[in-house]
Amino acid sequence: MRFATLILLIFGLSSFITACTHTNPFPINMSDAIRKASSPCEHEGLAEHYEDRSKKLNSMIKEHKKALSAYETLTSNHEKERSLFQHQSKILIDLYEQAAKINADMANSHRTIADEIK
């Protein structure tokens, strides 16, 4: 019963996070914003977008690390599932870390462009 409750809780949280990430959290059309960016203010806006995205990804990393810790507490009766969940969680954490770094780098690049234009 404890295992089933834990799995339902984790999948419920994952579904909630996934459902939220499919909506467009940024009210701007990024393709247009990137093509039209020519002023320092516009590049600062793009930098803020990427910085916000990086922060959200870092928040997701924390949540997946918590899930990974929860998987580590599963009983040995579920070793196969525990191992699979741990492996998948580690992959997700790695991917989110890469995406967070890339978004932070893009934010820094747009801030550099904004400073050069000034």
Q: Could you read off the pLDDT tens digit of each residue along the chain, which spans 118 residues?
A: 555 554 544 555 454 344 434 344 445 688 898 999 999 999 999 999 999 999 999 999 999 999 999 988 877 777 888 889 999 999 999 999 999 999 999 999 999 999 999 8
CA 103, 108, 110 angle in degrees (round to 5)? 95
Rounded to the nearest 10°, the torsion over CA 95, 100, 104, 106 is 50
Where residue 29 falls (left for φ over 0; alpha for ψ -120 to 50; beta otherwise) is beta
48-75 per-position pLDDT tens digit? 999 999 999 999 999 999 999 998 887 7
- Separation CA 70–CA 43 (nearest Å): 41
Q: Name the DSSP letter for residue 25.
A: -
Global pTM?
0.71
Interhelix angle 2-21/40-72, rounded to 10 degrees, is 170
